[in-house]
Amino acid sequence: MGTAVAIMEGYRDADRSRGVGLADAMNVALAATYRTNRVLSSDGHFRIMRPLTGHATFELLPEDL
């Protein structure tokens, strides 16, 4: 959970209207655990967040198929 909190704090100013929430941050942390950049989501936050795996961007499924 510490990783997710750090992610939320790191993106606090990225979207002033609502910021990155715990659910999105947990998905970033889980993607890192499973060494992937693929996330099942239509949430635009993943367009501004960077994976912790070294990938340049997240691949949002099913949109990016």
User: How is 37-59 classified by DSSP, letter by letter?
Assistant: -EEE---THHHHS--TTS-SS-E
Question: For residue range 2-51, what is the model confidence (pLDDT) as tens digits?
Answer: 889 999 888 887 655 567 888 999 999 999 999 999 999 888 888 889 99
Tokens of 61: 């499924």
This prediction's pTM: 0.83
The structural domains of the chain, with segments of one domain joined by +, span 2-61
What whole-number distance in Å separates Cα of residue 53 and Cα of residue 35?
6
